[in-house]
Amino acid sequence: MEYINNELHLGPKKKNLKSLLSNYKQPIYVYDLDFIRARFALMSQALQGVRIFYAMKANSNPQVLRCLKDLGAGADVVSLGEIHRALENGFTVSDIVYSGVGKTRHEITEALKLGIYQINVESLPELERIGEIAKSLNKKAAVALRLNPDIDIKTHPYIATGLRDNKFGMELSLIPELISCLKKNSESLDLVGISLHLGSQMMEFEGYQEALEKLKKIYKTLQSEFKSLRKFDFGGGLGIFYDRLDLAKEESLLKEYAAITMNSLKELHCELQSEPGRWLLGHAGVLLTQVQYIKKTSHKKFAIVDSGMNHLIRPSLYEAFHLIYPVEKKNQESLFDVVGPICESSDFFAKDRMLGEVQEGDFLAVMDAGAYGYSMASTYNLQDLPGEVCI
Ligand code: LLP
């Protein structure tokens, strides 16, 4: 992000955002494909030899998906809807890892008929269900066991997934039962891997390292029982800074994360898989919105914009911080609450934020909205979904 001639520009190639606003009709997400390419290049360089399955829940825009597919990514999906979206946009079944705690019979049946590359299993009843359905279809399902090591990565509780209180993955004490289920269903279940995802927005790696060490032992135990076991999926979760743009520091965290992963797992001599979402997309997208009213009370000044929690729910849901800049730079500073049109007091993008002296009709850019922005948008209050454009 950079102002050039007082106009906001996005990404390493400094793309002008104002030029996108001449026909403005509604709030719009803008994704910089060159930025995504640059991030993917950094990540694949750091994680050499690792197959990257992009977690498409972060952003399932068709052009974004095609861009990542062209770069060589696979897709990490969590629903039949995401499977279809991935297949419609260039991915093949052998590019898809299918995770998620609530896969229905219908979803599993379709995934098996399609021949999805790998299913990450999240519970014993799901493993049994997959075995049963695969048998009835005369198929062999390639499964990985998602394990929950009960480890805290110090993130927001709503996006932590590797603790015993979370619904995700299977506790390590379940291994004997999992082994017997796999053996009982050996004609329909092929154990190909184990998987791990401790949560999102991880900025330090002590817990992650501990989890790798725990799961490495399990991998070895399982390897002695199952010759088919050959993959370790270490999930996604690498975080980004939302309070500032510091790409150099993020790159050094990426290197640290990669070194910990590789050093820990190299002795397994197995295929490594990763499922990043936010790190690839977060900075590459902004949400552009227009100020409708400046509302002053005796306590506050509100900039009421035409987008809100219906388009970007992160501030409301996780009290997440997003930088906000006027698309055209303002000289005088002034404190605003930036709020949307939705009938909820949790409908805000920022509170007491120092912005320029913005006025009705001005445009604001909500930064770092490329991941978990549009993909979590809703039509609450029967507001339209925002637009999307790739540049
Ligand atoms: N793999 C699995 C199994 C996941 O559940 C997730 C994210 C990822 C990979 C990708 O994680 P990432 O690299 O993007 O951190 N809506 C929240 C984030 C929820 C993440 C859900 N799972 C947010 O806006 O912060």
Predicted local distance difference test score (pLDDT) of residue 156: 85
Mutate to test the pocket of ligand 1, among 50, 57, 120, 250 (most ligand atoms within 8 A of CB): 57
Task: Please provide the distance, in angstroms rounded to a whole number, between the alpha carbons at the two ends of the chain.
Answer: 15
Which of 235, 253, 274 is the endpoint of a domain?
Answer: 274
In this structure, are 248 and 294 located in the same domain? no
Predicted local distance difference test score (pLDDT) of residue 166: 85
Instruction: Return d(Cα 119, Cα 206) in angstroms, integer.
Output: 28
In this structure, are 219 and 368 located in the same domain? no
Which of 229, 251, 274 is the endpoint of a domain?
Answer: 274
The answer to whether residue 25 sits within a structural domain is yes
Cβ proximity of 33 and 390 under 8 Å: yes
How many domains does one find in the chain?
Answer: 2
Q: How far is the CA of 76 from the centre of ligand 1 (A)?
A: 10
Instruction: With a cut of 90, say whether residue 162 has pLDDT above it.
Output: no
In this structure, are 172 and 294 located in the same domain? no
The answer to whether residue 108 sits within a structural domain is yes
**In this predicted model, what pLDDT tens digit does every residue of 207-235 receive, in sequence order?**
999 999 999 999 999 999 999 999 999 99
Helix, strand or coil for residue 303? strand
Cβ proximity of 50 and 77 under 8 Å: no
Minimum CA distance residue for ligand 1 atom 23 = 372
In this structure, are 139 and 270 located in the same domain? yes
* Alpha-helix residue ranges (DSSP H) falling in 165-312: 175-184, 206-225, 247-265, 278-281
**In this predicted model, what pLDDT tens digit does every residue of 8-35 receive, in sequence order?**
999 999 999 999 999 999 999 999 999 9
Helix, strand or coil for residue 60? coil
164: buried, middle or exposed (CB in 10 Å: 19+, 13-18, 0-12)?
exposed
E-state strands within the chain: 2-4, 7-10, 15-16, 28-31, 50-55, 74-77, 96-98, 118-121, 141-148, 170-171, 189-195, 231-233, 271-274, 285-296, 301-305, 324-326, 333-339, 348-356, 363-366, 387-390
Q: Tell me which residue has tokens 């060490």.
A: 213
- Residues pairing with 364 in the sheet: 289, 326
In this structure, are 105 and 138 located in the same domain? yes
Instruction: With a cut of 90, say whether residue 262 has pLDDT above it.
Output: yes
Q: Tell me which residue has tokens 């640290």.
A: 256
The answer to whether residue 137 sits within a structural domain is yes
Which of 251, 274, 297 is the endpoint of a domain?
Answer: 274
In this structure, are 124 and 248 located in the same domain? yes
Cβ proximity of 358 and 336 under 8 Å: yes
* Nearest CA among 363, 320, 348, 322 for reference residue 26: 363
In this structure, are 118 and 230 located in the same domain? yes
Instruction: With a cut of 90, say whether residue 145 has pLDDT above it.
Output: yes
343 in active site = yes
What Å distances lie between residue 175 and 216, 218, 277, CA to CA? Answer: 13, 8, 29
In this structure, are 130 and 244 located in the same domain? yes
Mean pLDDT in residue range 161-169 = 86
Instruction: Return d(Cα 233, Cα 193) in angstroms, integer.
Output: 7
In this structure, are 175 and 299 located in the same domain? no
- Residue 385 belongs to domain with CATH number: 2.40.37.10
Mean pLDDT in residue range 27-48 = 98
The answer to whether residue 294 sits within a structural domain is yes
Is the Cα dihedral 196, 73, 126, 155 positive or negative? Answer: positive
In this structure, are 219 and 287 located in the same domain? no
Predicted local distance difference test score (pLDDT) of residue 211: 95
In this structure, are 154 and 268 located in the same domain? yes
The amino acid at 8: L
Whether this prediction's pTM lies above 0.75 is answered by yes
Ligand 1 neighbours, Cβ below 6 Å, are 55, 58, 76, 99, 159, 197, 200-201, 235-238, 275-279, 314, 318, 371-372, 376
Q: How far is the CA of 2 from the centre of ligand 1 (A)?
A: 28
Mutate to test the pocket of ligand 1, among 43, 240, 273, 278 (most ligand atoms within 8 A of CB): 278
| pLDDT confidence band for 348 (50 / 70 / 90) | very high
Instruction: With a cut of 90, say whether residue 161 has pLDDT above it.
Output: no
The answer to whether residue 322 sits within a structural domain is yes
The answer to whether residue 361 sits within a structural domain is yes
In the chain, % of residues over pLDDT 70: 100
Predicted local distance difference test score (pLDDT) of residue 254: 98
Cβ proximity of 333 and 355 under 8 Å: yes
Domain residue limits at 299:
2-30+283-390
In this structure, are 258 and 343 located in the same domain? no
Q: How far is the CA of 101 from the centre of ligand 1 (A)?
A: 13
Cβ neighbours of residue 286 under 8 Å, at least 6 residues apart?
A: 10, 17, 29, 30, 365, 366, 367, 368, 369, 370
- Residue 208 belongs to domain with CATH number: 3.20.20.10
Mean pLDDT of the chain: 96
Cβ proximity of 282 and 368 under 8 Å: yes
Lowest mean pLDDT among 146-155, 250-259, 370-379: 146-155
Catalytic residue of the set 67, 181, 270, 343 = 343
Mean pLDDT in residue range 149-171 = 86
Predicted local distance difference test score (pLDDT) of residue 157: 84
